[in-house]
Each structure stands twice: as structure tokens, then as C-alpha cells.
Amino acid sequence: MKYYIIAGEASGDLHASNLMKALLNEDVHADFRFWGGDLMQAVGGTLVKHYKERAFMGFIEVIMNLSAIFKDIALCKKDIQGFQPDVIIFIDNSGFNLRIAKWAKQAGFKTNYYISPQVWASRASRIQAIKRDIDAMYVILPFVEPFYNKHGYKVTFVGHPLIDAIANRTQVSVYKFRENNVLSDKPIIALLPGSRKQEIKNMLSVMLSLVDDFPKYQFVIAGAPSQDYSFYEPFIKTNNVKFISNKTYDLLSVSYAALVTSGTATLETALFKIPQVVCYKGSAISYQIAKRIVTLKFISLVNLIMDKEVVTELIQNDFNKKRLKKELEIILDEKERSKIFINYYELEKALGGKGASEKTAKLIYKSIKA
């Protein structure tokens, strides 16, 4: 079968690559053509466009790049038409994917969505378009299935693919990891400032402002695969800061605490059982727009899934050196850490266990064989 897959950022690349591996178990001759990244390329198939080339964050940034986005949409439609896939699989990335889905459904292509757009957070009106344009939706968060059911659309909860991604990774030796990356014996505070340049600019300076206040710890920046060290280098002004690129899971596995930009990384950090402070700061205009359309109590996946504050969230003006220092001190305290660990174990149970990619692949393959 021919599979056309569209993912738009690092986390989508990860989940799509695992889905592709699972699809190959069902269909050994699977032919993949995709928009994604290095992990998808490593599985095999044809990369049309890398997510690095189209990573726009925030309302204003999207508006400023509308011309490039419309060119990509036109390119994608033309490429799908030429490939004639048996199924198009959309991975998150709703702004782009829902536009393609509307056209694809009208053009007669089978449309499957893995990892739902965040319609429960904002613009629930998009559900009508999803019901019209998407043949099957596979969701990875437990509260999303009843949300869609309430709106008259049947979806399938398959579990969260991060559980598999973390469980299947090769364990690293703490000693060797420290030695290979020239780290000291001090406990590690991991800094995860995001993957897009704009995110990193907004987050990293404030995170690094704490370094001199915690001399008993070493701070390690988790470099995103989409960015070179040269981009991070101007932010690093002290010897107690190290940089490790494209090894976020290995870094989290040996860390003591973490400062994490809101997104998939908050859930990854929780699944590694690392106490964290969740941080987010966007452009002032984008934040004001988001504040008016987002209807959630929380921004981190950890708190959303648990429906309570398990990890502290510092958003926009609350994300400053004074508050961040105070919250980091709290999660370094043993008593507080014990409470966080208990909540993390409950979180993992709620996510439904292993096998998300395999379940989804079986359902997709079955649907196109029918």
C-alpha cells in the first residue's frame, strides 16, 4: 500500500516514525512518502519537505509567513495527486493538515488522523470540519475520546506512543554518559527550551539566569535536533552550563530536575519521573490572542491528563527569574519530590500502557484493506 504521511515538528517526526515501523510489520511492502524529519527518513521512503523548513510558532508568526504556508499547501496537494496514496495519515499539525484534509476528502482520498488537533483546548468549531473530512481519528490522550463522543464523533483511544518510545530506548550508563559528555558528578538540572528558534530565544536566557544561584548542580541544555550549537552558543556564559544535542531522552534519564518549555516535552519529562517546572512565554500579541481563545485550566499535558496541578506552570509574565528560582527550589526538596513521583505513576497508568503505534497501524492497515 501507499502511505502519505504529514508531520510538522520534532514530536510528530518521532510518532510518525514509530507508526511507520509498525505499519511495516503489517505491510512489508509499504511505500511511504512524507512531510517530516530525520527519524521518518531513517525508517525509509521519500521525504518531500523537512519540518525545519516550515516551523512557524504563534499567530503573528504564522500571519507573517502566510505566503510560504500557502505555497506549501499547494505543493502538498500537487504531490499527493501525483503519488495517489491508498491513505493519507495526518499527524497533529492542525493548521496545515486540516486544510489538506478538506481538499483530500473532496478529491476522494482516504483520510486518517493520528494525534488529534487540540480542539478540546480552543476552536471546538473545528470538530465539524473533522467530522466531515476525516474518515478515522486515533487519539493518544484519555480525555479526548469522551470529548469527541460528546460532540457526536466516534474516535479511538490507542494509548500514548511516548510510553513505547521511552520503554524501547536503549538504556544509558550514567557513568559513561557523564564521561562522554564531559559532565561532572554534580546532580543535573536539564533545560528543555523547546525546538523552534523563537521558543529558545524566549525561554533559554531566563532558564540560564539561575545557574549562579545553584552552584551544587550542573545545568545541561537539551539541544533540539533542528538547531545547531552555533544558535545556542551566545546564551552560554558560564562553565557550569553544558550543551548536549539530540540526546534528550538520555539526558532526562540521568537528570535530577528539569525546566521544560510547555509541549510534548512536559509529558516526556514526567514519564522519566523527573520533577519539573513547566515554562512558557510567547510574543505579547500571540499570548493575548491565545488567552482569549484557549479554554483550558492548564497548558501542560501532565496537568491536563491528571486534571489537577501536578507540576507548576509559569506562563508569560510569571516566567521570570524570581518565580523560576523559587519553583526550582521547591522541586529540589525531597518531600515535594515524593508527591510528584506518586502523581507521575498515576499519570502513566492513565495513559493506557504500551502499543499505541502497533494498535494504530493495525487499524489503518485493516481500514485500507477492507
C-alpha cell belonging to residue 81: 495527486
What is the C-alpha to C-alpha distance for residues 303 and 141, in angstroms, rounded to an integer?
Answer: 12
DSSP 294: B
pLDDT of 95 higher than 90: no
- Distance in angstroms (rounded) separating the CA atoms of residues 128 and 152: 10
Q: Residue 57's pLDDT is what? A: 54
Instruction: Kindly state the DSSP code that residue 29 receives in the 8-state scheme.
Output: T
The residue type of 320 is: N
Instruction: State the cell numbers at 140.
Output: 493518544
232 pLDDT exceeds 80? yes
- Rounded Cα distance between 316 and 254, Å, is 29
State pLDDT tens for residues 316-331. 889 999 999 999 999 9
Q: What is the pLDDT of residue 290?
A: 52
For 120-156, how does the pLDDT look when each residue is reduced to its tens digit (9 = 90+)? Answer: 766 778 899 999 999 999 999 998 999 999 999 999 9
Distance between CA atoms of residues 30 and 261, nearest Å: 36
The DSSP code for 242 is E
Nearest in space to 109 (alpha carbons), one of 128, 132, 85: 85
The 10s digit of each residue's pLDDT in 49-83 is 999 876 655 555 666 667 778 899 999 999 999 99
**CA 241, 242, 243, 247 torsion-angle sign:** negative
Q: List, for residues 332-356, the tens digit of each pLDDT value.
A: 999 899 999 999 999 999 998 889 9
- The H or E element containing residue 99 is helix 94-106
C-alpha distances (whole Å) from 218 to each of 200, 244, 327 are: 19, 13, 17
The 10s digit of each residue's pLDDT in 275-304 is 999 998 865 555 455 554 455 678 889 999
Maximum mean pLDDT: which of 113-122, 163-172, 202-211, 293-302: 202-211
Model pTM score: 0.79
Alpha-helical regions (H) of 190-333: 197-208, 229-232, 248-253, 264-271, 284-293, 301-306, 321-331
The Cα–Cα gap between 231 and 249 comes to 21
Calpha distance 195→145 (Å, rounded): 28
**pLDDT score, position 295:** 53
Q: Output the nine-digit C-alpha cell for 228.
A: 545547531
Q: Quick one: pLDDT band at residue 8, thresholds 50, 70, 90? A: confident
Indicate the average pLDDT of the chain. 90
Q: Answer yes or no: are the C-beta atoms of 299 and 312 closer than 8 Å.
A: no
* Phi-psi sector, 251: left (phi>0), alpha (psi -120 to 50), beta: alpha
Task: Tell me the average pLDDT across 150-163.
Answer: 93
What is the pLDDT at residue 65?
A: 66
Compute the distance between CA of residue 244 and CA of residue 316 in angstroms, rounded to an integer. 27
Determine how many CB atoms are found less than 10 A away from the CB of residue 242.
Answer: 17
CB 296 within 8 A of CB 280: no
Q: What confidence score (pLDDT) does residue 284 get?
A: 55
Question: Per-residue confidence at 167, pLDDT binned at 50, 70, 90?
Answer: confident
Quick check: helix, strand or coil at residue 128? helix
- Binned at pLDDT 50, 70 and 90, residue 10 comes out as confident
212 has pLDDT over 80: yes
Q: What percent of the chain has pLDDT over 70?
A: 92
